[in-house]
Structure 1
Amino acid sequence: MVVLSKIYTKTGDGGETALGNGARVAKHSLRVSAYGTVDETNATVGLARLHASAEMDAALARISNDLFDLGADLCTPDMHKDKDLTYTPLRMIDSQVTRLEQEIDVWNARLTPLRSFILPGGTALAAQLHLCRTVCRRAERLVVELGTLEEVNAEAVKYLNRLSDWFFVAGRIANDDGRADVLWVPGLTR
């Protein structure tokens, strides 16, 4: 259980922070950048929810919670040493990825196939979902880079990859099932 009775601790004043396993690392470490960017993705989801209603809001609420799970996963390194911890770390699992895939498939069935790339825009929600997508892709790149140096849960990478696709499709749904998509016109302003 998390108890936050004091918000500032001053333990990070020297430029370090604690990971989930208690290890202290530089705040600029790749691991901290990776889960920090997952947190940033979650903040953009919160903004998107301001424009969402009903089904979309519920889906974004689930994703927001998943992103906290993902941050918890990434802040606890050394997956092969989980047994040495006094608690079981939270790890992303396949069913979280599968749920995204199922939602993408249901929504994508409503959409006309694209014949052009689309630009961020249309409705306020669609524009915000495209921002979610781009921040999510940045988080994915950082997690993949981290995985070249340290062990990373493969489901974490899959989740971010699928989530950015989910945001893309959700953006089209938010644009009147793609009818209000803003299409890219190559060379339009030449």
Structure 2
Amino acid sequence: MVKIYTKGGDKGDTSLIGGKRVSKSSARINAYGDVDELNASLGVAISFIDDQEIRKILERMQNELFVVGSDLADPSYPENPNNIPRVSEDMVQELEKIIDKCEEDVGAIQYFIIPGGSKEASSLHLARGIARRAERSCVELSHMENVNPSVIAYLNRLSDLLFMLARVMNKRKGVKDVQWRS
């Protein structure tokens, strides 16, 4: 039986795809660590959501975030000697289609919305904030090392989608979005 612990990282380093050892505090590890946290936050959101259509979307995003994480864990981009799945422009465009469908459902935004409402929407707003952090981590990494630009675009679009899904959830739960008042 394979054990979950290897003790290989007990001194603060870990392996990337391809075998290179790096510090667990490196920008690359931070970036895909933020993506992992985002994925876990989607799991929490799913646990609150009964709406099967939205659950299906979020479950798909969880699977796609594994592609994002593996793309980030392989420092060889734009090469791909390890033949790992890469985030593609098609994945970004699929998110845009879902966003457009959500906007048809709830309408264009007319004002700033305070995150909250139903517990389902609130959990999606929290995931959106984590998605934004993951995106910032990837941008920071891209200033130091090669990063697939589709990863950054995907996370940007995913945060937009999570915002729209929060609005959809509030509408379906009969909860009005809270308008920010200055």
TM-score class, shorter: over 0.9
Alignment root-mean-square deviation, CA: 1.4
Tell whether the 8 Å contact from 2:124 to 2:163 is kept in structure 1 after alignment. Answer: yes
The aligned counterpart of 2:124 is 129
Residue among 84, 105, 109 paired with 1:110: 105
Please report how far the alpha carbon of residue 179 of structure 1 lies from its aligned counterpart in structure 2 after TM superposition. Answer: 5.7
Rounded to whole Å, the distance in 1 between the matches of 2:152 and 2:168 is 25
Please report how far the alpha carbon of residue 94 of structure 1 lies from its aligned counterpart in structure 2 after TM superposition. Answer: 1.4
Please give the per-residue CA displacement for 1:134-179, whole angstroms capped at 9, x wherever unaligned: 0000000010110011000011011001000000111100011686
Secondary structure of the residue that 1:122 maps to in structure 2?
coil
Residue among 66, 71, 74 paired with 1:73: 71
The residue type equivalent to 2:93 in the other structure is T
Rounded to whole Å, the distance in 2 between the matches of 1:44 and 1:180 is 23
Secondary structure of the residue that 2:22 maps to in structure 1?
strand
Is 2:177 the counterpart of 1:181?
yes
Q: How does 1:2-151 map to 2 (within 5 A)?
A: 5-52=2-49, 53-82=51-80, 85=81, 87-151=82-146
Q: Using structure 2 for the length normalisation, give the TM-score.
A: 0.94
Please give the per-residue CA displacement for 1:10-37, whole angstroms capped at 9, x wherever unaligned: 0001100000111000000000000000
Please report how far the alpha carbon of residue 116 of structure 1 lies from its aligned counterpart in structure 2 after TM superposition. Answer: 2.0
Would the alpha carbon gap of residues 105 and 81 (structure 1) be closer, same or farther in structure 2, given more than 3 Å must change?
closer
Secondary structure of the residue that 1:21 maps to in structure 2?
coil
Rounded to whole Å, the distance in 2 between the matches of 1:65 and 1:113 is 28
Please report how far the alpha carbon of residue 5 of structure 1 lies from its aligned counterpart in structure 2 after TM superposition. Answer: 1.8
The residue type equivalent to 2:11 in the other structure is G
The aligned counterpart of 1:159 is 154
Rounded to whole Å, the distance in 1 between the matches of 2:167 and 2:10 is 43
Rounded to whole Å, the distance in 2 between the matches of 1:81 and 1:114 is 40
Rounded to whole Å, the distance in 2 between the matches of 1:48 and 1:91 is 25
Identity of aligned residues (%): 43
Tell whether the 8 Å contact from 2:17 to 2:74 is kept in structure 1 after alignment. Answer: yes
The residue type equivalent to 2:37 in the other structure is E
Q: Using structure 1 for the length normalisation, give the TM-score.
A: 0.90
Secondary structure of the residue that 1:175 maps to in structure 2?
helix
Unaligned stretches of 5+ residues in structure 1: none
Rounded to whole Å, the distance in 2 between the matches of 1:160 and 1:115 is 24
Q: How many residues align?
A: 180
Determine which structure has more spread, i.e. the larger CA radius of gyration.
1
